[in-house]
Structure 1
Amino acid sequence: MRALIASLMTPQKSEIEKIHSTLQEIKTCNNSIEKALSSLTAQYEELQMNFKQFEVQAKKDRDCIATLEDRIEDLQRASRKTNLELKNVPKLTKETKEDLIEMTVNLSKVIDCKIEKNDITDIYRVQNKRSKVNNSSIVVELASTIKKTDFLKQVKAFNIRHKEKICAKHLGYKKEEYMPVFVSEQLTAKAARLHFLARDLAKSKKFKYCWTAYGRVYIRRDENSPIIPIKAESQVNNLMQSS
């Protein structure tokens, strides 16, 4: 009887040993998976930490770049604080600085804000990338900001008083055709871009005033509204959406 029982138990014992062996393999495999997962979790946490550090550093770098850009803008604005810009002035054949000085002096007499030759520290025509363009801007560097401000005020007053606005003949050109000339302070590239966008904003959203002063751009909806200094393109976009 015992022999019979033993003979019946032998196959079951073998199966149990196989199952036990399989369970051991599964356990070992699970341990390996757990270790791998722990390692991956640690790596993921390390990557997250590194990414956060990179984000913090990137923000510091962006802030630093913005600060440097603002400083450069301030320096460029300061270097232009006495400068006028005459736009759309026809270019003379073999034009010289003396010709440009004479144009500016002629215009100053017309608007009743006389400028002498010694009031001009430098004058030049901006080189245009398009060689065929002959009416690129003329930059006039004056001796003082006061003189520049007075000149711009007189230009504005002249254009208000006269039906025929400032044109080439006021600079001494003899041609009969009307060639408008635009006089403004010389802006930095950033300020010129902001002025362009601000004018578009003023036109689209019916702001009554858009102007520049001392190299900065301003807009105002009407006489009773606050003056808004325009400092960034994002500000213009926000005003365009909210106004």
Structure 2
Amino acid sequence: MSKCAACPDVINDDSFMECNRCSCKFHLLCTNIDKCELENAPVDFKSKWLCPICLNKQPKNDNSCKPVRPSTPTGMADMTFVNTRRKIQNRTDSDPNIHLSSASDAGMQNIREIIREELRGVATKSQLSQILSEFNDFKNSLEFISEGFDSIKNDLTAANTEITLLKKENESLRSEMHSLRLRLNTFDQLSRSSNLEIQCVPERKAENLITIVQELGKTVNFNVNEKDISYCSRTAKLQSNSPRPRSILLKLNSPRTRDCLLAAAIEFNKKNPGNKLNTGHLGISSTKVTPIYVTENLSPENKHLHAAARKLAKEKSYKYVWIRGGRVYLRKTETSEAIFVRNEEVLDKLNRL
């Protein structure tokens, strides 16, 4: 692919003229030569064709370009001088073809220059038009993207505002829920203020739980009448595969009666450290004597807290873990201060010490 010497465009086909002297190539349109005229031209026309620049550099048809004749030697020259008057003749008048050829060449050159300028202008306008069109497309695309970005930014701002409000509302609801859970646990524990749990009593068919409770009262030296018992039954296991027997849930007629029976059981164990309350005291015959535990009936929340406290006491060597009035307490040694385990945060704090 070659570039036209007359215009900035590239020659993409074989419709061009090549100068025989300078080898420059031109579009047929730039040389003002018709394609049909080229086909009807002589065979050697294209091979001998000269561009306007090289054509202007050719010698003219007169003798102006011929070398000056050498002067006659002085010795050989005739010393006779004759003054003659030569008629002045205009060279243009004597050879009109030279004038026409020169004028034609200049006119063609001017025409070619005009064509070149026009072609350059057309090409420049076409390029500018294309650039302007692309710029407008780019501007429209940029405006569209800007509008989309503004919309997304506004949506994001609104979403952030809503998220902030939801976070505050969530924190408020969490705080309220925590407060309600504490109140619910308190009410649940208060509703169990007359209850006791008797644990590890072996299960038998056709057993009489009231008789077992009364026998327990006799053992710890606290008389339990049948009228003092509001409810007595075995509870379901928390873990169905546990080998321990189901606990006996005892509901007495008042918290005071409950506290007296519990205090009597604790006192009995203190007085008999080597023979604490067991199945043998209740007249339950079995191959092995197993201990029996009498504790307060805790709410599910407090049961979980009591289990976590016993685990911590084992890991951190706390000597005492007990329950009083539905509350869990810890004590490191006999002389150390009792620690009220209000919630699991207290256990986490003790675990970090």
Give TM class, smaller chain. 0.7 to 0.9
Aligned residues: 239
Structure 1, 196-205 or 6-15: larger mean CA deviation: 6-15
Matched residue, 1:59:
171
Are residues 1:159 and 2:266 paired?
no
Identity of aligned residues (%): 26
Aligned to 1:140, which of 227, 250, 253?
Answer: 250
Distance 1:74 1:68 in 2: 10
How far 1:172 sits from its partner (Å)?
2.8
CA deviation vs aligned residue, 1:55-89 (integer Å, no higher than 9, x gap): 22322332333233223212211111011110011
CA deviation vs aligned residue, 1:197-223 (integer Å, no higher than 9, x gap): 100101111222211111111212234
TM-score, length-scaled by structure 2: 0.61
Matched residue, 1:117:
226
Distance 1:67 1:102 in 2: 42
TM-score, length-scaled by structure 1: 0.87
How far 1:108 sits from its partner (Å)?
1.6
Q: Could you say what secondary structure the match of 2:291 adopts?
A: coil
Structure 1, 223-232 or 190-199: larger mean CA deviation: 223-232
Are residues 1:170 and 2:289 paired?
no
Q: Which amino acid aligns with 2:344?
A: E
Aligned to 1:25, which of 129, 134, 137?
Answer: 137
Contact kept in structure 2, 1:80 and 1:187, CA below 8 Å: yes
Give the 5 Å matches for 1:1-243: 3=114, 4-95=116-207, 99-128=208-237, 130=240, 135-162=245-272, 163-175=274-286, 177-240=288-351, 242-243=352-353
The structure in which a higher percent of residues are helix is 1
How far 1:176 sits from its partner (Å)?
5.9
Q: Could you say what secondary structure the match of 1:85 adopts?
A: strand
Distance 1:61 1:234 in 2: 20
Q: Could you say what secondary structure the match of 1:180 adopts?
A: coil
How far 1:37 sits from its partner (Å)?
0.4
Q: Which has the higher contact order (CA 8 A, sep 6+)?
A: 1
How far 1:186 sits from its partner (Å)?
0.7
Q: Could you say what secondary structure the match of 2:176 adopts?
A: helix
Distance 1:217 1:236 in 2: 11
Q: Which runs of 5+ in 1 are unaligned?
A: none
Q: Which amino acid aligns with 2:307?
A: F
How far 1:224 sits from its partner (Å)?
4.8
Distance 1:86 1:198 in 2: 20
Matched residue, 2:44:
none
**Which of these two proteins has the greater Rg computed from alpha carbons?**
2
Distance 1:177 1:18 in 2: 104
Distance 1:9 1:66 in 2: 83
C-alpha RMSD of matched pairs (Å): 2.4
How far 1:40 sits from its partner (Å)?
0.7
Q: Could you say what secondary structure the match of 1:114 adopts?
A: coil
Distance 1:226 1:29 in 2: 76
Structure 1, 25-34 or 138-147: larger mean CA deviation: 138-147
Contact kept in structure 2, 1:91 and 1:134, CA below 8 Å: no
Q: Which runs of 5+ in 2 are unaligned?
A: 1-109
